Amino acid sequence: MKKLINSVDTVLAESLAGFTAAHADIVAADPEGRFVRRAAVTPGKVALISGGGSGHEPLHAGFVGRGMLDAACPGQVFTSPTPDQMIAAAEAVESGAGVLFIVKNYEGDVMNFDMAREMLDRPVATVLTNDDVAVETSSYSTGRRGVAGTMIVEKIVGAAAEEGRDLAALQALGERVNGRTRSMGVALTSCTVPAAGKPTFALGEGEMEMGVGIHGEPGRRRVPLASADAIAAEMVEAVLGDLADQASGDALLLINGFGGTPLMELYLMYDAVRRRLNGRGVTVARSVVGSYVTSLDMAGCSVTLSMLDPETVALWDAPVHTAALRWGA
């Protein structure tokens, strides 16, 4: 295992210490390391909290800040945070309007956020994200997995929260955005969890995992490495097919790198996906290309299409000031 680390036991703490120091103008750390929060709370605004296993950076801590999340709870690598982390985060940033949990659909996360919700003596609602069309259930989830589309839900709902919308409205908006968002990924290499010290799965030199999850969990099938155009075609067809009648009009296209893929290849994939979308009734109105929802050092990428309407495109365009997404502020 080749990683820039000191010891497998301190990876998360040291990485978080670096993150909060580098972005001290935006975020503050809980002294006990249970969550990362905005440096300043906006009174009366619904508090948006997300979290999940670490190893997907910049998700979620990189999306804490004005216009997006109020706090994020990092678990150990690929391991759900615990309910006490979520409770502590909620108590730190909730200011009278309630808490919205944005939770990727993995069993551990769902269970622990549910437990925190039950234990909190405050209004709490949850949005579950499950945008991955690759598989219906997996080793980590019952039902579809929440992957890169989660970032889009966090951005759009975050902007709406800044406008002062109430908890029920934000929950409904989050569910609407999730319902119009579909993703699929491909891995060219495995990731390596620091504590494991070896690759999570074995891929032959000429193989790829089509439909891979963001923990390196299996996708649809293992196939010979194909061209960017062939990969784009399979992913676009899977996503469009699943969107079905919704696949019409303006969309946000996100090409997301998994951590070990250079930007040059992500832009090439963007080009391949865009060409494949030509003449299919979908207009790419907004584009994001980069590594936002990663799987440690895995090489590969995912394609996300999120259908937009005038309301959601305005919320997407609204100012955001986080470590990983920043504009208009």
Catalytic annotation on 23? no
CB 60 within 8 A of CB 154: yes
Which pair of tokens denotes residue 129? 């994200």
Give the span between the Cα atoms of 319 and 50, in whole angstroms.
20
Q: Which of 78, 75, 83, 76 is nearest to 101 (CA)?
A: 83
From the CB of 23, what's the least distance to a second copy, in Å?
A: 8
At residue 223's C-alpha, the angle toward residues 219 and 227, to 5°, is 110
Residues at the contact surface with a second copy, assessed by CB under 8 A: 2-7, 11, 14-19, 21-23, 54-55, 57-58, 62, 188-189, 205, 208, 225, 227-229, 231, 259-272, 274, 284, 287-289, 291, 294, 296-297, 299-301, 326-329
Strand 282-290 with 249-257, pairing: parallel
Residue with Cβ nearer a second copy (146 or 300): 300
From the CB of 285, what's the least distance to a second copy, in Å?
A: 11
**DSSP codes of every residue in 36-104:** EEESS--TTSPEEEEEEEESSTTTTGGGBEETSBSEEEEEEETSPPPHHHHHHHHHHH--SS-EEEEEE
Residue with Cβ nearer a second copy (120 or 266): 266
Catalytic annotation on 56? yes
Residue with Cβ nearer a second copy (167 or 228): 228
Give the span between the Cα atoms of 297 and 145, in whole angstroms.
20
From the CB of 9, what's the least distance to a second copy, in Å?
A: 13
Q: Catalytic site residues? A: 56, 215
